[in-house]
Amino acid sequence: MMFGWLQGRGLARLSLLVATLAAAIPATAGESEQTSGVGPARGSSAACGDFMRMAGVQAPELAFVACKSLEIHGLPAFRAEYRVAGAQAGEVEALLTKRAQMPPLRYLCCGWESQPADPAHQSPAGSLTIGGNRFEVSMTSGETMVNRRGDWAKIPVFEVYVVRYLD
């Protein structure tokens, strides 16, 4: 038996071993939470926080939710998350298209996303620069059947993501 040496040593020691091993193995999924999101990751001196406020973006209808340290597509990143009610989403979209050059939202399949008219020549995310660091800005409604801009008030919440890749 592979763990025969553990026999008779008690469940507490086995639990401690499993917890120790689990903490030592990094997550490797496409997007996985690494920490609570309040400190640096992989040698970065930057901290996670309200990136919109740091950039001086004033939008009272845009509520900061959290900032997390994640791996996105295998790259370490900080992601600040915001929410805005559907009734105010147009104002926030206009602000982000002007301030961060984020493409306007388009309805694709099942929800609203920031998507460029010409994907070959434009990124689907906007960009903010804070303290010499580049941040990607995107906005989405999540899954919805509402496919007309005039009906955005029927969508309970839109989400805005501001991402800083660390590597």
Q: pLDDT tens digits, residue range 16-73? A: 333 333 333 333 333 444 333 334 434 444 689 999 999 999 899 999 999 999 998 8
Q: What confidence tens digit (pLDDT) does each residue in 125-139 have? A: 777 887 888 899 999
Q: How far apart are CA 76 and CA 60, in angstroms?
A: 29
pLDDT of residue 117: 60
Other beta carbons less than 10 A from residue 1's beta carbon: 6
Q: Note the pTM of the prediction, 2 decimals.
A: 0.69
What share of the chain in percent tops pLDDT 90? 51
